[in-house]
Structures are given as structure tokens and as C-alpha cells.
Structure 1
Amino acid sequence: MLQTLLADLNTQLKTLKAKVSEYTEIDFSLRSPVVSDNSIEMGLKGVFYNTQQRVEPPSSPPAFSLASQNTNMFYIAVSAFTINSAFLLLHKTNVFNIRITDDMVPSVSPIRLSTTTFGAFIPQISETHPDLKLELKVETVKEPIIKLEQDHVILQLLSTVTAVQSDNTTNTLFVLNLESVASVQVSVEEGDLAFNLTLEKIKGSMNDKPFKVENINFLTVIMHNIVFPIIKAHLAKGLQPPGLLGSYIGKVHIVNPQVKVLNDYVLIGTDIEFEENTSS
């Protein structure tokens, strides 16, 4: 009986996957368990796939091993490969393509979606199109890339921003082709991962003519306080991150979580408390 149960559990662990959106699922099936006297280390696949057409990523995941850890009860390491496989799929399914309107900006914000705002870091915009309200269509040209180094996260993004006049959406005012590099600080706030992004470099063209970005600090404020909250809300509508433990054991409470960024992976360590699942 016990052998049958263990065999069944082993089969389930080798085929674990979870749907996170209409067209996206993550395969986190068990690959390489290692059992020692005081720990169990489980290697999970961690690759995102299109539910309509399962295609393997263009490259294989690099091997990495965890340094010995014994401060917390539970650790999970997420590789750059896993994050980038998600970015690739979200790009291909156009999830990153969104339309941003001024009514999506918090009403208390002094920064509005207008040519005046954009003119603060690209003067040609306000000079050519003074004091006009905008709608923006944001598209990724290719998938974003995350690079993880010791205590350092780098995000590379190629995007196109098409601006139209808000009361005349057939009137395209300008098109920005942007190449951005940002550093990202990762932390845990109230049990959730939090990200603080700082633009390090941005260059591009407007209507196919190169331009120089002025006042990059102001642009960082706009991205952090306006653009990224809108993108986060947009992504949250269609994405439902899977519960790795809760659906099997009951409610899981994390205690004193810590985040470390290491070479090629992010390590999250935490103590955990289980609440018995009393549902039948």
C-alpha cells in the first residue's frame, strides 16, 4: 500500500504544472531530488509554456547549485532562465502590449499624460505638440531580459511607444523606439515580493530620428509611480501565480522572509507556519 502511494506521489511530482493565465502555464515538475540527513532539495523544471502550443525555449537552462543554507526552514531559488522564459512567452502572446490613458493615472498625481510631461525629458515633443493630452500604446519589440548578478538585477527592455491625441486617437503624434536598461532592487514587503526600479540608461529615436533623454531622474519617477503600477495592474488581471504549497497542505504563512540576489538566481529564504486545512 505504502509503495503504491509513494509511486503515485512520484508520478504526480514529475508532472506538476499550473495554469497562470489563459494561454500560460508553468511546468514545475520534479527533476532531481536530493535527500540528506537534515534537508530535502528538490530540483524543479520551472519553465513557462503556451497552453495552446507547447514549444521548448530556444536555449537550455544552465545548471546551478545552491550554497549550503541553514538559517531558514524553507528556501526557493528562481533562476534567471525561469524568469526569462516567462518574459519570452508573455511577449509572444502580446501580454506586454497595453494602452495607457490619462484616466488610469491616479487623480492625485500632479503628473498627467500629456506632451508637457514628455517635454520635460524630450523637449522636441512639447515644442512640436504643445499642451496636448495623450494616449499611449506600449509594445515590446522583443522579450525583456533579466540578468542576475551578486546583489544586482539588470532589466533590459526594447519597446515602442506610440502616442496619439486623446480626443483624436487616429492622430498619431509621435512614435518612440526605446532601448532601456534599469537596475532592480528586490525585497519582501508584507509577505509579497516588491521591486524598486531605477533607470540606468535609455536611448532611442522619435519618428526614426535619434534623441537624447534629458532629466532621466524625472523619467524614473514617472516610470516608477505611474507606468509600472499601470502595467502591474494590467498583468494582474490575467495572471494567477500558482500556489506551490497551499493547495496541497493548507494555508501557508511565511515568517521573516529574506531575499538574496546571487549569480543567475534569486534565493528566497523563509520560515513557514502551516494552518491545517479543515475543508473536506
Structure 2
Amino acid sequence: MGAPARVLPSLLLGLLLASSPGAPGANPGLVARITDQGLQYVAKEGLVALQRELHNIMLPDFTGDFKIKHVGRGHYEFHRRLHGSFDVHVKGITISVNLDLGSEPSGRPTVTASSCSTHIRDVEVDMSGDLGWLLNLFHNQIESKFQKILESKVCEMIQKSVTSDLQPYLQTLPVTTEIDRLAGIDYSLMEAPRAAAQMLDVMLKAEIFNRDHRSSVPFLAPIMSLPEEHTRMVYFAISDYVFNTASLVYHEAGYLNFSITDDVVPPTSNIRLTTKSFRAFVPRLEKRYPNMNLELQGRVVSAPVLNFSPGNLSLAPQMEIEGFVLLPDSARELIFQLGVTTNLSATLTFNTSKITGFLKPEKVQVELKESKVGLFNVELLEALLNYYILNTLYSEVNAKLASGFPLPLLKRIQLYDPVLQIHKDFLFLGANVQYLRG
């Protein structure tokens, strides 16, 4: 018997899919949906692979008995070392395969072939060579034998391919993906994929976590009601949960905190972070701390929450800024505390492999919350903070958002024709798919 034929993983995805039900639990952060159009594309790719691989099926040696009219019964043995050649024409192949899709405890997808059946409508064998005329006398028996062997060989080929090709291919779906040195994203399956007549839904956790010390998230993903869209092969419904877990990770790591000292203020600025520069606004400051530098330390009070509403993304971070005098002995003394608020809008873009973002700069509003040097006009600080935040802090955050985070894609899958919609609580991304043959 010849070596088993190799079938591209895309072949079997286009066949009948069945999935074992998963236990209900928390809501997914991301749902990947393959539409009927996508399944048809995969089936088309699979048909090309099947036609190519059928040529590699090797027939085993076989024997049989036959009956020739007016002559009697005979016996034949068919060996691959027989001299001569023959052409086999196979017509009307029907293949039915049931694939059970599931998930491992680690969240990786699994697939097994629970059943396979093949039916060939007709097989014609044309033989040549020295014994061709003799073999043609009982070609009906040989053709019948060929048909049964080919039917079993096709299913054998598919069964082995599910184990050796398709299962390893599904394992290329990333379970955890690195975003940067701080954060990663958990793309583990929350349950077995759900198969319906015209679509296949895959529920992923899609939680961003600190790579050094992972902790539980204090909120749940919302329920997403996916729109009935079928103009693209695949869709990704991405909950605000994904972005807000990212906000939580970076906030807890202090990524959104900042410090402003006089050496970062532009040399051309009329406002310096010194007690002398502030004396026109806070006279008591210069008298109490003559010729000393100041330092402003800012922190975001809580992780900013990204709000999704139809066609709009917004967030309203709240910050606290503390002002310190840098004393001659290198100690710092707190002199005032400010509250800072702003309303931001955000834009997200979707390319062939990841989602990127951009915060639109908005001015901040400053409120004096506490002062140990008397009342003073906060407009000076507001102008300084706006300059720093608009030109430095936003730039750093946008640089991080521009790097984006990757979508969960199988190996050799490329997306094109992307579309993006913003719904309440989630993004809805659509794209067509191209399988890059290796």
C-alpha cells in the first residue's frame, strides 16, 4: 500500500462541520465568525487540494474471481509491478465528512473526524500493453474492485489528514500573543466552536494581561448581539472588554503616570518650573522657598474606560497632579494638589492583521483641590499642562496605540477588503480571506 496522501488543511474546513456543545459561562471578549461565503471559499480551496491529491493515491495489490460467458470462471491477481499501463476515469465522487470541533483545557482548538463516507458513481478502466486485450475481458470486475478500493482510500486519506494536517494546522491559532514587553493577549477558546447551517462562530476569551504577574479582571465582558452581515467571509466582534483589560494592565503598571521637571520644559517657554517663575501667581511660594525648582507628578486616578456607542468611541480619564518643591537636601515637599479632567475621542483602524488606534487631542481642565501656599491662579498650570500633555503624553500613548494588537489568525491566512463598524459595547470588523498556499 502506498504512502498516505497529504491534503491541505483548508480542504476539510469546507466540509460538513459539527461541534460539541460547550458549557455556558462568561461572555467572550471576541467572536470570530466564518460566514457561508467564507465556508464556500474554503470548500473551493479544498476541492482544488483534493483533486491534486487524488492523483497520489496508490492502489494495493488485489485479486479476484471473474466469469467469462461460454468460457467459465477465472482468477486474476493484480500487481503494481505488472507491465503496461492503464487509464482510470473516475466520475461523480461524493464525499461526506463529519468533523467534531472542540477545545483543549488550554484553550487550543481540536478536531476529529467522527465519520466519513465516499461514493463513486462510475469508474472506467482503459488498459494497454501486451495483456491489455485479456484484461479487458473482465474489466467490469476490475472496475468494480477499483471503485471499492478508491472509495475506501479517499476516506482513509481524509481521516489521516485530519490527524496529521488539520489538527496541527488548527494549533497555529494563537492562544497567547505578545503585545509588548509588558502585556500579552489571551486568545484561548472559551468553548467548542458553534456550527450552524450558514456560519461557524468561535468564542475567544480575548483578555489582555500583564505578562509578569497575571491577576483576575474585576469586570465581565458584555453580551454582544452580532448583526446579520454576510457580505464578507469572516467577521470579528471585539468587545470593549478587550480594550478595557488593556487599560487596566497599563494603568496598574504605572504606564499612564508622568513627571514634569524644569529640564523638560522648552527653553523658549516663558513659564519655568521654578518658585521664581511662579511668584506672580503664588507670592507666598517664592517667599517660603526662594530659588528652588518644582516638580509636577501626575497619575491617572483609575484605569480609563473606553465607551463604545454607535459610530463613536470616547473616554474621560481623570488625573491627579501633585506639585512638589525640590529642597536643597534632595527632599521633596508637597505644596499643592490639582484635579485634571478631559473628554477624549478615539479612532480605531483595522488592517490585514491587527487593530490600531489614535487619541484625538483635547484640552484639559484643571481644578485646584488643595494648596499649602494659599490660593493661586491655576490658568498658568493649565497652560503648562496642556502643552505637556498634548505634545508629550498623547504622543507616547498614540505611539503605543499605533503598534496595535494582533488579531487571532491561522497560519497563511491573509485578510483583505476590511470594513469596520462601531456598535454598543463592541467593534464589528469584516474582511475577506485569502489562503496563501505554501
TM-score normalised according to structure 1 size = 0.66
Q: Which runs of 5+ in 1 are unaligned?
A: none
Question: Which residue is 1:24 aligned to?
Answer: 183
In 2, distance between residues paired with 1:42 and 1:200? 41
- Give 1 or 2 for the bigger CA radius of gyration: 2
Residue 326 of structure 2 corresponds to residue 184 of structure 1: no
Deviations 1:97-129 (A, max 9, x none): 233456657x6986877479x98xxx9966666
The 5-angstrom pairing of residues 95-110 of structure 1 reads 95-101=255-261
> Would the alpha carbon gap of residues 100 and 68 (structure 1) be closer, same or farther in structure 2, given more than 3 Å must change?
farther
Question: Offset at 1:46?
Answer: 1.2
Question: Which residue is 1:196 aligned to?
Answer: 360
- In terms of fraction of residues, the more strand-rich structure is 1
In 1, distance between residues paired with 2:396 and 2:239? 26
Question: Offset at 1:62?
Answer: 1.5
Conserved? CA contact 2:316–2:344, under 8 Å: no
> Would the alpha carbon gap of residues 36 and 232 (structure 1) be closer, same or farther in structure 2, given more than 3 Å must change?
same
Conserved? CA contact 2:321–2:337, under 8 Å: yes
Question: Offset at 1:198?
Answer: 3.0
Conserved? CA contact 2:420–2:429, under 8 Å: yes
Amino acid at match of 1:61: A
Conserved? CA contact 2:318–2:341, under 8 Å: yes
2:223 to 43, 59, 63: 63
> Would the alpha carbon gap of residues 192 and 56 (structure 1) be closer, same or farther in structure 2, given more than 3 Å must change?
closer
> What secondary structure does 2:362 align onto?
strand
Conserved? CA contact 1:154–1:184, under 8 Å: yes
> Would the alpha carbon gap of residues 92 and 67 (structure 1) be closer, same or farther in structure 2, given more than 3 Å must change?
same
2:301 to 141, 144, 154: 141
> Would the alpha carbon gap of residues 73 and 161 (structure 1) be closer, same or farther in structure 2, given more than 3 Å must change?
farther
Deviations 1:67-111 (A, max 9, x none): 133455554333221111111122222222233456657x69868
Conserved? CA contact 2:356–2:403, under 8 Å: no
1:91 to 251, 254, 261: 251
2:321 to 142, 155, 161: 161
> What secondary structure does 1:25 align onto?
strand
Question: Offset at 1:16?
Answer: 0.5
Amino acid at match of 1:17: T
Question: Which residue is 1:265 aligned to?
Answer: 426
In 2, distance between residues paired with 1:11 and 1:247? 8
Paired positions, count: 266
In 2, distance between residues paired with 1:89 and 1:158? 17
In 1, distance between residues paired with 2:188 and 2:359? 27
> What secondary structure does 1:160 align onto?
strand
In 1, distance between residues paired with 2:420 and 2:240? 15
Could you tell me the percent identity over the aligned residues? 19
> What secondary structure does 2:255 align onto?
coil
Residue 2 of structure 2 corresponds to residue 2 of structure 1: no
In 2, distance between residues paired with 1:22 and 1:192? 18
| RMSD over equivalenced CA pairs, Å | 4.8
1:49 to 209, 225, 233: 209
> Would the alpha carbon gap of residues 153 and 166 (structure 1) be closer, same or farther in structure 2, given more than 3 Å must change?
farther
Amino acid at match of 2:161: L
Question: Offset at 1:139?
Answer: 2.0
> Would the alpha carbon gap of residues 216 and 110 (structure 1) be closer, same or farther in structure 2, given more than 3 Å must change?
closer
> Would the alpha carbon gap of residues 8 and 246 (structure 1) be closer, same or farther in structure 2, given more than 3 Å must change?
closer
In 2, distance between residues paired with 1:44 and 1:75? 13
Residue 411 of structure 2 corresponds to residue 248 of structure 1: yes
Question: Which residue is 2:112 aligned to?
Answer: none
Question: Offset at 1:196?
Answer: 1.0
Conserved? CA contact 1:185–1:197, under 8 Å: no
